[in-house]
Chain A
Amino acid sequence: MTRAKPELHDTILYVDGVSVSFDGFKALNNLSLYILAGELRAIIGPNGAGKTTMMDVVTGKTRPDTGDVIFNGGTDLTRMDEARIANLGIGRKFQKPTVFESQTVYDNLELALAGNRNVFSSLVFKLNGQQRDRIDEVFETISLSADRDRLAGDLSHGQKQWLEIGMLLMQDPELLLVDEPVAGMTDAETEQTAELLKSIAKSHSVVVVEHDMTFVRALAAHVTVLHEGSVLAEGTLDAVQNNEQVIEVYLGR
């Protein structure tokens, strides 16, 4: 079922043979996952399948016990911290929307703006016209232009999710990891989010972890099913939904 292993230089993210255990519990068990440059990939799986741990490993929050995590065909991520990986061009959206609530929506985007993250350069930083245009552009993309001066904490749940996606875009990453973007959203918001991610995927590689099957269908993405820390199946949504093993895992043994 799994596709043939692609060449390293074709991948944006190359996760090979990664295992992580917490106090004897194997959260990831020899996980291998290859995301091609420019791909939009959905990852599904029951609770505890290792989806969030996989993201933690890629973004530097958790160190794998064994295995390789290689970004952009050559950069080893397993020894780097979160900030370094973020600056390399991997953006991550959390499951629970996490924005800077006591700051304005505009400041949230400005803080995420790609550039020098040095303490001393932040002392003298000034937005230039080009950067301001970039912020406006992202405001258009996430449809929050009217809310730019509001406090991020006053936004609705769905708007916060979009703001967070907007912050990822400001970082100008090559790869976006998006954890359950439509959890708690209304149907209309879910639909809008699917459109948003599809348009982002035109110019970025995107990995989406999601439970909501309608949403995954709307994304029309290649699907990977995780189970007990490794890949159970891979293919189109229809193919994996008809997969015996997948049905067994989802419907219970």
Chain B
Amino acid sequence: MTGIAPRPSQSLIGRLVTSNVGSMITLAVLFAVAIVVPLLNMATPVDSPIHVPNYMLSLLGKYLCFALLALSVDLIWGYCGILSLGHGAFFALGGYAMGMYMMRQIGDRGVYGNPELPDFMVFLNWQELPWYWYGFDNFFFAMVMVALVPGILAFAFGWFAFRSRVTGVYLSIISQAMTYALMLAFFRNDMGFGGNNGLTDFKDILGFDLQADGTRAGLFVASALALITAYLVCRYLVTSRLGKVLVAIRDAENRARFIGYRVEYYRLFVFILSAVMAGIAGALYVPQVGIINPSEFTPANSIEIVIWVAVGGRGTLHGAILGAFMVNYAKSYLTGAMPEVWLFALGGLFIFVTLFMPKGVVGLVAKGSQQWQLRRRSARDLRAESDLRSEGAK
């Protein structure tokens, strides 16, 4: 990553937006998607050729959440060399926090009609709401928890791991163990999060019916805006001195330490930030798919996120977004058309990318355009040379 040296005179907007072609394109596309897709869904008749059907809107909305999740992984993996194979855990925790809010919103409209307790608690014969469900009927409190719970877990995990200088493959393994342990815990009925069924049957969010077209479009726009904001925040980080320190830590941890940087604090900071981003992605995801259950914690999910980032291009930010869209589109298509092929395709894709496209699609495009420019330049030079020669011949 070399494009991270901003000219000192540049304004903040210049630094975030125009200093990099990839980021210009990314932001333009994301803004366009945020406006055009919901518009085509809401304002065009169903039989119109440009109509975006509901299923497509929620599919794209899901992809936006995945892109945010991929962005969070790219920030720590691409820029700081922390390969987390458990980032799905933060996503799921954010999702659960949102799910708890929506469970409480159901009120007495559940199957058992209990105004206090969600259905699964009535079913388990629980008499009262566990303390850790308190406050989740309040939207604002739930949103704080969406960020706080993944943030605190990331802090606890990172504090011990980074201070003990656990890095590389060891860190990847314990991050995977973390999400696996959480999965087992959330599968238990007596944890109070609905066991293997998780939380579902949501009715509304902030009083808006989740099945209504307007709500769906609203959630879509919210996801797009969250992604854009997170992207700008990440761009700011990686173009600041902090970004340079992160790359320095990634490439030569000891050098960074011996010139006086507290490596563990830098790691901890981005790790927490990344976990919060993943939590927000999960919180936006759950109302759009209508369910959150412990399968979101499976280690395979977390590995898939890493593959999105690798395919798109690690350490570029926009590559992560692109990769999330590409791989998930392929997944949607293949699991529909040839479901038995999907996992083989995913595994093959990862091997292919690792071997032949170490910088992902973005790296490939960058290399292609560089070569094209080089060829054009040498062609121009050749022409100039022959012009010179013909002139000399006169």
Residues of A bordering B, CB below 8 Å: 59, 82-83, 86-87, 91-92, 94, 98-104, 106-107, 110-112, 117, 119, 122-127, 151, 164, 167, 170-171
Contacts and interface: CB of A to CB of B under 8 A. Distances in A.
A98 B254 contact: yes
B8 to A, nearest CB: 6
Given A98-B255, A151-B2, A83 B261 contact: yes
Contacts of B262: 83, 117, 119
B8 A126 contact: yes
Name the interface size band of chain B: 20 to 34
Given A106-B5, A119-B242, A125-B241, A100 B258 contact: no
A83 B260 contact: yes
Nearest to B2: A151
A82 B242 CA distance: 19
B248 A100 contact: yes
A107 B258 contact: no
A196 B256 CA distance: 23
B42 to A, nearest CB: 39
Given A107-B244, A111-B245, A123-B242, A100 B252 contact: yes
Contacts, number: 85
A82 B257 contact: yes
A107 B240 CA distance: 12
Given A101-B252, A119-B262, 8 more contacts: A86-B259, A99-B255, A100-B256, A102-B251, A103-B244, A103-B247, A123-B242, A125-B242
B269 A119 contact: yes
Contacts of A171: 259-260
A42 to B, nearest CB: 21
Nearest to B249: A100
Nearest to B252: A98
B258 A59 contact: yes
B242 A110 contact: no
Interface string B241-283: 1101101100110111111111101100100000000000000
B258 A124 contact: no
6 contacts: A86-B259, A102-B1, A102-B2, A103-B244, A106-B5, A123-B237
B71 to A, nearest CB: 18
Given A110-B244, A111-B244, A94 B261 contact: no
Contacts of A119: 242, 262, 265-266, 269
Contacts of B247: 100, 102-103
B259 A122 contact: no
Pairs of residues from A and B, 9 with the lowest C-beta to C-beta distance, nearest first: A86-B260, A125-B241, A122-B242, A87-B260, A82-B257, A122-B241, A98-B255, A100-B248, A83-B262
B254 A94 contact: yes
Contact of B257 (A86, A107, A126, A170): A86
A100 B255 contact: yes
A94 B257 CA distance: 12
Given A101-B252, A103-B247, A125-B241, A92 B258 contact: yes
Contacts of A127: 8
A86 B255 CA distance: 11
Contacts of B242: 119, 122-123, 125
Nearest to B266: A119
Interface in B328-349: none
B259 A167 contact: yes
Interface in B100-119: none
B234 to A, nearest CB: 13
Nearest to A125: B241
Question: Which of B5, B248, B269 has the most C-beta atoms of chain A within 10 angstroms of its own C-beta?
Answer: B248
Contacts of B260: 83, 86-87, 117, 171
A236 B261 CA distance: 37
Contacts of A98: 252, 254-255
